[in-house]
Amino acid sequence: MNLDELFSDLNTQHDEVQCDAFITGGRCRWHQYRQALRELYKRVRGLRSLYIARERNRAEIEILHAEMNGMQDGPEKRLKQLDVLEKSGFQEEADRSIRYTEREFNRFLAQVLVFRKEFGNLTEEEKRQRDLEGWAEEMRLKAAIDLAANGRISLNVIRNVIGLPAALRKQLTNEFKQPKRLLAWLDKQQDTTLALDHAEAELASQEIRRLVEVGNAGLLSDRSE
């Protein structure tokens, strides 16, 4: 058994359930969309750095091989051989990290595409209104969970509500005075699981990842695939 076989089930990052249920799920649709965008942006930045690091490492290995040509056996050549061995190990780790990050990238991209179809192109005022409604929903959800878990709404939720615009604060405060209705609302919450179009996401992913690579230096080739 080689190392690839040994670690074939290893996942150092997030699985699909984590991505869908715990990272972006459990909140209103608009906040799911916003969080999916944040997660996707993190993966774009991560892939950009990983692609560059992998390509730089390749170049350094090529330089070491060129320097060893014609060198006599001895400690200096051995040190360069060890450098090559070390950098080859880094190359394997970079490839593995890229695979994991690309997988998360694809998952969050699939989420974003679903929400883009749902929300379309909103004006800044419409986005602001969605933000307000989203935070109201977030506070309502946190309050309902507090009631279900502890029988009372936490001080942290109350403090957050105080910072909202007056009309929204009054609306939520009135709702919090009716705990049975709030718990009934929690029971009726819809499933937030998304119907993802993986084929569409894969096509978009290939193009976006190509732009991420080329956008770094314009020098990276299909060797990264």
CA distance 97 to 42: 14
- The answer to the question of residue 184 being in a domain is no
Could you tell me where the DSSP H helices lie in 10-163?
16-17, 29-68, 75-119, 124-150, 155-162
- For the chain, what is the domain count? 2
- The answer to the question of residue 55 being in a domain is yes
User: Are residues 40 and 110 both part of a single domain?
Assistant: yes
Q: What is the pLDDT along the chain (225 residues), one digit of tens a residue?
A: 887 788 788 888 888 888 888 899 888 899 999 999 999 999 989 998 999 899 899 999 999 999 999 899 999 999 999 999 999 999 989 988 988 998 899 899 889 988 999 999 999 999 999 999 999 999 999 999 999 999 999 999 999 999 999 999 999 999 999 999 999 998 887 666 677 777 677 777 777 777 676 654 444 444 444
List pLDDT tens digits, range 166-207. Answer: 999 999 999 999 999 999 998 887 666 677 777 677 777 777
- The answer to the question of residue 225 being in a domain is yes
Say what the pLDDT of residue 142 is. Answer: 94
**Of 15, 10, 7, 27, the residue nearest 133 (C-alpha):** 27
User: Are residues 127 and 52 both part of a single domain?
Assistant: no
pTM (2 d.p.): 0.82
What single DSSP character describes residue 27?
Answer: S
User: Are residues 26 and 78 both part of a single domain?
Assistant: yes
User: Are residues 107 and 126 both part of a single domain?
Assistant: no
71 contacts 48 by C-beta, under 8 angstroms: no
Angle at 29 (CA atoms; ends 24, 32), nearest 5 degrees: 20
CA distance 182 to 36: 27
- The answer to the question of residue 65 being in a domain is yes
User: Are residues 105 and 203 both part of a single domain?
Assistant: yes
44, amino acid identity: V
Count CB neighbours of 82 within 10 A.
Answer: 11
User: Are residues 131 and 202 both part of a single domain?
Assistant: no
Name the residue range of residue 63's domain: 14-121+198-225
